Amino acid sequence: MRVNILIFFVFVVGSQVLGQNKSIDSLKNLYSSTESPSERIALKCKISQGYTEIGDFKKAGKVADEALLEAEQLEDKKGKGLAFYTLARLNQYMRDWDKALIYHYQAIQLFDEIKADEELAWSYLNMGIAFHAQSDYKRAIRYDNKALDIFSKIEHRKGVAYSYLNLGLALNDNGSRDTAFAKLADAKRICIEIGDQRGVGYVHNIKGDILLKSGDLEEALIEAEDCIVIREKENDKLDLAFLYGNKSNIYFQQGKLKKAEEALVVAENMGLEIKADLALKKLYLTWSKLDSLNGDYKAAHDHFKKYSSYATVIIEQERERSEAALEYAFKKEQAEKEEELRNEIEEVMSSYGADVADGSNKQLALLATGSVIILLLLVVLFKKKK
């Protein structure tokens, strides 16, 4: 039932630390008019997040690295924490969970040191997401509970609700369905009390996914319909395309083929309108199976061709995403190597500083200078070849 709930949490939970999303252009304009160095660092982190969300990982990484450098120069611990958090989110989008965890650890240390409780709690919740993605459910539960403890202490009710959502996912996948449902019930109650209808919708989505996987089709259908009511009020066509596709799949499994086809028509219209490739791929596969059961093999073939076409598109998108991620990682590694080399060169030169000033050991100084030039040329040539 879920539209990859873990990725949803990367989007929504991650953005809580950096604040309300705005367009990249509006953030850049705000950055240009802001004089406060700490605010400029925070804005750079938001700009990086914007690039991350549209899949431009190279620009996202460059801007986040700039924010981190500025924060280090200013000795701005909160700015450094935000920059590490931003880099962690970038790696979550790129599905590099190990690297994401490293950056989250660095952010957590800084947020903990300066007592930035809310930022610390969201970081813990993201740690839970990263461990969950690696099927390490026990650690995911541990970090979700850390987040819950802090959110409860600072009375951040939305944070508490989303901690329960995370715990519901992790506990179910760890084999504790009843406890998971209790946490989801707590999340729903709080989301209703604070007016967070999106959160309520995701509770229904998660429960429906759990119920569908366990074969409770009637209950799964109820959860899907409850979520659809909420998403229709929000006019969220992306979620609706998935939800109607999932609803058709439930009808298909129940043998209600006419209702299944009606739901597929609605899902297709929404999916085509907003170009929801993943939703369209899933629904065309269901449709092909439905046609086969109805004995319409030509329609089954046509729908399977559409399924194959969208599957190819998605594979290509994943390939492009992976290439962008690798290119960013390579450039970052090269920049780190250059920085390391410069530091080593400075150490060599400084060790000969006194002798050069005295006019002694000139040959050694010249040799060191020549080595510096050769090393830098090698770095430039190596980068060009790559």
Give SS3 for 34.
coil
Question: Hey, CA dihedral for 62, 63, 64, 67, is it positive or negative?
Answer: positive
C-alpha torsion 303→308→310→315, nearest 10: 170
The pair of structure tokens assigned to 180 is 């998971």
What's the confidence (pLDDT) of residue 355? Answer: 47
Q: Residue 316: its pLDDT value, please?
A: 78
**What domains does the chain contain, in order, with CATH numbers?**
1-134 (1.25.40.10), 135-234 (1.25.40.10)
Q: What is the pLDDT of residue 376?
A: 54
C-alpha angle 90-161-157 in degrees, rounded to nearest 5: 105
> Looking up tokens 């309108």, which residue turns up?
273
Question: What does the DSSP assignment read for 132-194?
Answer: HHTT-HHHHHHHHHHHHHHHHHTT-HHHHHHHHHHHHHHHHHTT-HHHHHHHHHHHHHHHHHH
pLDDT in tens, the chain (386 residues): 444 556 555 555 655 565 545 688 899 999 999 999 999 999 999 999 988 887 788 888 999 999 999 999 999 999 999 999 999 998 888 888 999 999 999 999 999 999 999 999 999 999 999 999 999 999 999 999 999 999 999 999 999 999 999 999 999 999 999 999 999 999 999 999 999 999 999 899 999 989 988 889 999 999 999 999 999 998 888 889 999 999 999 999 999 999 999 999 999 999 999 888 888 998 999 999 999 988 999 999 999 999 988 888 877 766 766 676 667 667 666 766 666 666 665 665 565 554 444 444 545 454 555 555 555 555 555 554 55
Query: pTM for this one?
Result: 0.74
Decide if 123 contacts 132 (C-beta within 8 A): no
CB 256 within 8 A of CB 279: no
Give residue 129's pLDDT.
92
Side chain identity, residue 325: A
pLDDT at 336: 67
Chain-centre distance for alpha carbon 65: 18
